[in-house]
Amino acid sequence: MTANRSKWRETLPILSLALFGVVWMAPLIWTLLAAFVPTTELLNGSPLVWLQSLHLGAFAEAWEVAPFPRFYLNTIIWVFGLLGLQLVTVSLAGFALARLDFRGKDQIFFLFLTQLMVPATVLILPNYQTLVALGWLDSYQGMMAPYIASAFGTFLMRQAFKQVPKELEEAARSDGANWLQVLWHVFLPVTRAPLIAFSIVSITYHWNEFLWPLLITSSVETRPLTVGLALLVQSSEIGAQWDLLSAGTLIVAAPVLLLLALVQKQFTNSFLSSGIK
């Protein structure tokens, strides 16, 4: 009796987790099926019929209907271009806040804090007007601009730089290195982990971003994948081409899922580090 109960107590949480997992996976599996099985077979056939009618037609069609290769290129340019800029700004600013003494530090710290509390998404309207004034609508730099300064990244790097031993810095300084050299040769090599963590969060976040690029892009030459997908969803006035939509969905999501599968551990840790404030 007691043995039974304790066994039950051990397996119940595992079962619950498995059940949770199945529920969470179901929509993903359904999407996979919908992309590879023609819709009529999916709705009326049995799993056996599904296996027999597997095809890649929907991918070919989605690839044709919307210029996905171009959307891929745009996404890569905007996501990685932005990341490059961010790595420069957050390293420099994080270093200044962590290791340098100067007047007005508290006030500047507070400015960064404001960005953490007021996310760019809330400011789409005034930021759009700023882009109009700058003539940056429908451009990569316009998409990147609100994110180039990153409070999250700056605080993350500040935290990491603070933990670098003072002696390392002093040794370099006494050898006559200037601060930029100290940052480059001493600090950055030992803070790879937070840099990677920041990169993973930034890539995932911006790869998935929709509203801002939707508002400011208007041509095939700048639109990212997410916007392309949403237009595909809307343009099929008819809403019945589920295989096409599912294929498009997978085309957009594949790289992030791949990244996750390859580096699940770093991925987890990166998102945890987004908790540092």
Partner 1 sequence: MAEFNATHDHIQVEPIFTGGYAENMARATAAILSGQPPDVAILLGIDIYTLIQTEGIIPLDDYIASEEGLDIDDFFDAFMANNIADEQVWSIPWQRSTPILYYNKDAFAEVGLDPDTPPATWEELVEFGKQLVASDGDNVTRWGVEVPSSFWIFANFAIQAGQHIGSLGDEPCAVYLDTPEAIEALAFLRRLQEEGIMPDGAVAWGTAPADFIAGASAMIYHSTGSLSTLLANSPFEVGTGFMPGGSAGYGANVGGGNFYIMADIGQERQDAAWEFIRWMVRPEQIGQWGIDSGYVAPRAAAWEVDPLKSYAEEVPQASTAREQLPYAVKEFPATFGGQEIQVITTQAIEAVNTGELTPEEALAIAQERANDVLTQNGCEL
Partner 2 sequence: MQSQLNAQHTQGEGRGRFARSLWLPSGLNSASAVAYLFLAPSLVFLAVFTIWPIISVVISSFHARRGRNQIFVGLDNFERIASDPFSQQVILNTVGYVALGLVVSVFGGLLLAVLMNQGLRNIGFFRFPFLATIALPMVSVASIWLFLYSPRVGLFNELLGGLGLPRSNWLSDPDLALASLFAVYLWKQLGYFALFYLAALQALADDVLEAATLDGVTFWQKLRHIIWPLVSPTTYFVSTIGVLNSLQQIDHVFVLTQGGPNNASSMALFYVYEQGFKWFKTGIASAMTVILLAVLLTMAMLQFVYLERRVHYD
Q: Which residues bind partner 1 (CB under 8 A)?
A: 40, 43, 132, 135, 137, 218-220, 230-231, 234-240
Give which of partner 2, partner 1, none residue 28 binds (C-beta under 5 to 8 Å, depending on kind): partner 2
Give me the 55-84 binding string for partner 2, x by CB under 8 A, dash otherwise. ------------------------------
Instruction: Give the pair of three-digit tokens for residue 185.
Output: 């040769």
Q: Which residue has the tokens 């599996």?
A: 29
Name the residue nearer to partner 1 (CB basis): 104 or 126.
126
Of 47-55, 56-64, 65-73, 89-97, which part binds partner 2 (CB under 8 A)?
89-97
Q: How far apart, in whole angstroms, are the C-alpha atoms of residue 73 and residue 225? A: 9
207 binds partner 2 (CB under 8 A): yes
Phi, psi of 37 (to 5 degrees): -115, 135
Q: Report, in Å, the least distance between residue 248 CB and partner 1.
A: 15
Q: How far apart, in whole angstroms, are the C-alpha atoms of residue 85 and residue 199? A: 11
Phi, psi of 240 (to 5 degrees): -95, -10
Site for partner 2 in 229-268 (CB under 8 A): 229-230, 233, 239, 242, 245-246, 248-249, 252-253, 256-257, 259-261, 264-265, 267-268
Show Cβ contacts of residue 206 under 8 Å, excluding neighbours closer than 6 positions: 78, 79, 82, 83, 147
- List the one residue out of 277, 270, 35, 14 whose CA is nearest residue 158: 277
Binder among 74, 154, 217, 222 for partner 2 (CB under 8 A):
154
